[in-house]
């Protein structure tokens, strides 16, 4: 396997690493970067649990190779809350609306919602469309649908 040097910024920290060409971004983030909030649910890009934000865009980290993140800035769910512990509005909405149960799909869900509400004001229907790219087996999506309405009605700063 070929080995490649990459430089990334993960949650604000610079990381220089040697990665094999075949290593997924998800495995790099979980292993090398220690971001175990990146959850691998299907490894074929359907369930959405591994979603992270790469250069401002929500990405399924199981479908992206670590080498492709060379030079990129990556954010995972670990970075969303403020340093003082204040939850990101997406996280707070998920908590308030009981949008999670087992929590396995949750980090991916909050990263998608964070990405599409960053500097934009999507309506509830667009947020629901985005949620449809995430599989949740526990909640029946009831809390998440409420989150979509709530965030969809918010005026973004």
Partner 1 sequence: MNAPADVPLAAARFTGERVPRKEDRRLLTGHGAYVDDVTMAGMVHGMFVRSPIARGRIVAIDVEAARALPGVRAVYTAADLDRHPAKLTGLYGSAESKFPDIWPLAKEDVRHVGDPVAIVLADDRYVAEDGAALVVVEYDDADAVVTIDDAATGAIVHPDLDTNVALMIATPEDPGLEAVFAGAAHVVTGTITHQRQAHVPMETRGIVAALQGSGEMLIHASCQSPHMVARYMDLAFAMPDLHFRVIAKDVGGAFGLKVQPWREEVAIVAAALLIGRPVKWIEDRLENLTASNQAREQDVTVRLAFDADATLLAADIDYRCNLGAYPHGADPNSLAMVMFPGPYKLPRYKFRAQGFYSNTAGQAAYRGPWAMESLARETLLEKAARQIGIDAVELRRRNLITAADQPHTMLTGFVIDRVTPRETLDKLVAHLDTPAFRAEQAAARAAGRYLGLGFAVYVEPTTMAFGGILSSDVADIRIEPTGKVTLTVSTHSQGHGTETTMAQLVADTLGVDIEDVSVMEDDSSRGGFGPGAGGSRQAVSGGGATLIASGKLADKIRAIAAHVLNASPDTISLAGGKVLVAGVAEMTTTVKEIAEIAYYQTERLPEGMEAGLEARHRYRPPPVVYSNAAHACTVEVDVETGMVKILRWVTCEDCGPMINPAVVEGQIAGGVVQGIGGVLYEQISYDARGNPTAVTFKDYLIPTAHDVPELEFLHIATPSASEGGFKGVGEGGAIVGPPTLVNAIADALAPFGADCLTLPLSPPRVLAEIGTRD
In sequence order, the β-bridge partners of residue 107 are none
Interaction of residue 112 with partner 1, rule CB under 8 A = no
Binding mask 38-77 for partner 1 (x = CB under 8 A): xxxxxxx-xx-x--------------------------xx
User: Would you state the structure tokens that stand for residue 1, as one six-digit string?
Assistant: 């396997």
What are the b/e assignments for 44-58, b being 16+ CB within 10 Å?
eeebbbbbbbbeeeb
How many CB atoms lie under 10 A from the CB of residue 140? 10
Interaction of residue 139 with partner 1, rule CB under 8 A = yes
Minimal distance in Å, beta carbon 95 to partner 1? 5
66 Cβ contact partners less than 8 Å away, ≥ 6 residues apart: 6, 17, 19, 23, 24, 25, 27, 28, 32
Of the candidate residues 68, 72, 135, 152, the single one contacting partner 1 (CB under 8 A): 135
The binding site for partner 1 (CB under 8 A) comprises 20, 22-23, 27, 30, 35-44, 46-47, 49, 76-78, 80-81, 87, 91, 94-96, 98, 100-107, 110, 128-129, 131-145, 148
């Amino acid at each position: 396997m070929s080995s490649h040097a990459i430089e990334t910024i993960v949650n604000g920290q610079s990381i220089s690493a040697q990665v094999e060409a075949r290593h997924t971004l998800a495995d790099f983030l979980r292993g090398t970067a220690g971001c175990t909030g990146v959850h691998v649910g299907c490894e074929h890009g359907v369930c959405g649990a591994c979603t992270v934000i790469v250069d401002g865009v929500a990405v399924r980290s199981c479908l992206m190779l670590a080498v492709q993140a060379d030079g990129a800035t990556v954010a995972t769910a670990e970075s969303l809350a403020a340093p003082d512990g204040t939850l990101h509005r997406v996280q707070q909405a998920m908590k308030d609306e009981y949008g999670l149960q087992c929590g396995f799909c949750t980090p991916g869900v909050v990263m998608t919602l964070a990405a599409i509400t960053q500097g934009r004001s999507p309506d509830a229907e667009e947020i629901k469309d985005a949620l449809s790219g995430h599989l949740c087996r526990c909640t029946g999506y009831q809390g998440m649908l409420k989150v979509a309405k709530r965030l969809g009605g918010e005026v973004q700063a």
